[in-house]
Structure 1
Amino acid sequence: MEALNLIESFIQTAETGSFSAAARRLGLTPAAVSKNIARLEAHLGVRLFHRSTRKLTMTPAGEQLWADASVPFTSLQDAFERAAQHDGKPSGVLKVSMAVAFGREYLVPLLGEFLQRYPDIVPDWHFDNRAVDLIAGGFDAAIGGGIELTQGVIARELARPCVIVAASPAYMAGRPMPAHPSGLAELDGIARRSSTTGRVRAWTLRNQIGEEALAECRIRMIFDDPEAMAHAAMQGLGIAFLPTPHAAPWLESGKLVRLLPGWHAELSPLTLYYPNRKLLPAKTRVFIDFIVGAFRERRLAARFDAR
């Protein structure tokens, strides 16, 4: 098993490009990973990485070993995992990334049913509004939008959410409902700052016949979280441009009303990401099937599509 541990440290370092990232995936210290690589190099009699204070790159020998060993090693990991399953049932720690509010509102309520079906799986769910590196982070799956598709990652579309304009009935009381995006200019707005660029988001709305219009309002406040925007809108503080997963519960309860029902802004599809492996671990496979089935049974795709 020692040789497998050395190979695993090498493969994780090759995939992530650093000892630190490999260490996080393996639950080791960077020093321990570096030591494993050095022992493997000594055993093989070749250098696998060029090391510098700024960069870690593979040597030609390292590139060759990675090409020859990565696929067989993954197959061996799958074999070990299947052999370790309890009575053939899916088991193990399931590491999944998801956005904070979306995960809390839509995925945590599914957890009880999932655990009832698969009691030997231990969910390790990471709630983060930033896109993660599925491979470097060692995730079994991720649910979100706009994650870069790198080599070794598969994307399965779950729904096509969009951005709509909403406000509380109290805020709109006594105000005329706008018939066109230009009418938003007379209303107070709860704007959103992009966590990626730091800029205030500008939305171009589109209607069903393809007309487009820039949506502008009097910016009253700026948030970087859509859930907080929804709560501010429910307090009657202004209109908000909300992704449909964040707006849907409040629109259905009547705490928010939709403005410009024929208009929306495009968003990246809500997607389930997972590693491209010939033999997925059973825990990952059943999770994928469960989430896809839950979206279908609860008609979440239709609920999020406000076009």
Structure 2
Amino acid sequence: MESLNLLDAFIRSAQLGSFSAAARSLGLTPAAVSKNVARLEEDLGLRLFHRSTRKLALTGEGEQFLENAAGPYASLQDAFAHAAQREGKPSGVLRLSVGLGFGNEYIVPLLGDFLARYPGIVPDWHFENRAVDLVGEGYDAAIAGGIELTEGVIARKLAPIYAIVVASPAYMAGRPVPRHPADLANLEGIVRRSGPTGRLRARTLRNAAGQEAPAEAGIRMIFDDPEAMAHAAMLGYGVAILPTPHAARWIASGALVRLLPEWYADLGQLSIYYPNKRLVPLKTRAFIDFAVEAFRRKRLAALFDPR
């Protein structure tokens, strides 16, 4: 088993390009990953990486060893998963990536029922507003919206998501209510910046009649997190265009009101993503089925649909 740990450290480091990234995916420290790789090099009598302060690159011997080892190692992982599933009881650490605000609001509350049903599973959940590399970073699953499927990853749909225009009652007091997306130009906007690209996100709204119009409020502030935008809107700083999962509870509480109720932007599907293995571990399958059923039972698809 120790040799497998050393091999795991090497393969993750090679795939992700750094000891730090490999450490995050393995739940170890970078020093521990570096030490494991060094021990593997010593056992093999080969230098597998060129190391520098800026870059980690495979040597020729390292490239050859990775080519020879990666396939058999993946087969070994499947064999271990298969052996564990023969007991028929889902167990083990479940590594999940989910957005911070969405995870706190909708996924963490599912834990009680999930753990009561599957006490052998230990959630190891990462709350991050980014698209993760499921295979390369070693996640069992991720919940996100609008992710482009890559090779080796499949998805099950949970709910459609949309973007709507909101503001606080206090902000709108004494201001004319917009009747068309063009009217947003007269209001102060809480605008979202895309984390991956750094660009401001432009939204085009549409209505049931099929009409489309750009939504361009005056830029008052720029955030990269929808939860922060929601709180800024509730504090009366301006109008925000929020994904429905981040707006629904605040509209229900009265802290936010929806503007332009006939207009929305389609953001695609919220899905649960997982690696496409020949044998999906029972712990992963159990969580996927549980999440799909929980979304159906709580009618979250209807909650997130503003039409």
- Please report the TM-score for the alignment, with normalisation by the length of structure 1: 0.86
Correspondent of 2:80 among 69, 77, 80: 77
Deviations for 1:67-114, whole angstroms, at most 9, x for unmatched residues? 3x144212222134336x6xx421111111111110111111111111
**1:231 aligned residue:** 231
**2:284 aligned residue:** 284
Instruction: Map 1:216-295 to 2 at 5 A.
Output: 216-295=216-295
For the structure 1 residues 214 and 135, does the alpha-carbon distance in structure 2 shift closer, same or farther, using more than 3 Å as the test?
A: same
Gaps of 5+ in 2: none
Correspondent of 1:35 among 18, 38, 43: 38
Contact kept? 1:15, 1:135, Cα under 8 Å: no
Contact kept? 2:16, 2:136, Cα under 8 Å: yes
For the structure 1 residues 38 and 261, does the alpha-carbon distance in structure 2 shift closer, same or farther, using more than 3 Å as the test?
A: same
Q: What is the percentage of aligned positions where both structures have the same residue?
A: 58
Gaps of 5+ in 1: none
Instruction: Map 1:48-127 to 2 at 5 A.
Output: 49=48, 51=50, 53=52, 54=55, 55-56=57-58, 59-60=63-64, 62-67=66-71, 69-82=72-85, 88-127=88-127
Aligned partners of 2:73 and 2:238: how far apart in 1? 54
Aligned partners of 1:51 and 1:229: how far apart in 2? 44
**1:181 aligned residue:** 181
- Partner SS, residue 90 of structure 1: coil
- Partner SS, residue 135 of structure 2: coil
Contact kept? 2:41, 2:48, Cα under 8 Å: no
Aligned partners of 1:19 and 1:149: how far apart in 2? 26
- Partner SS, residue 220 of structure 1: strand
Aligned partners of 2:145 and 2:205: how far apart in 1? 19
Instruction: Map 1:203-214 to 2 at 5 A.
Output: 203-214=203-214
Contact kept? 1:48, 1:62, Cα under 8 Å: no
- Partner SS, residue 94 of structure 1: strand
**1:145 aligned residue:** 145
Residue 93 of structure 1 aligns with an amino acid whose one-letter code is: V
Deviations for 1:27-48, whole angstroms, at most 9, x for unmatched residues? 3623333235425644xxxx69
Q: Does 1:159 align with 2:159?
A: yes
For the structure 1 residues 238 and 25, does the alpha-carbon distance in structure 2 shift closer, same or farther, using more than 3 Å as the test?
A: closer
For the structure 1 residues 203 and 273, does the alpha-carbon distance in structure 2 shift closer, same or farther, using more than 3 Å as the test?
A: same
What is the aligned residue count?
299
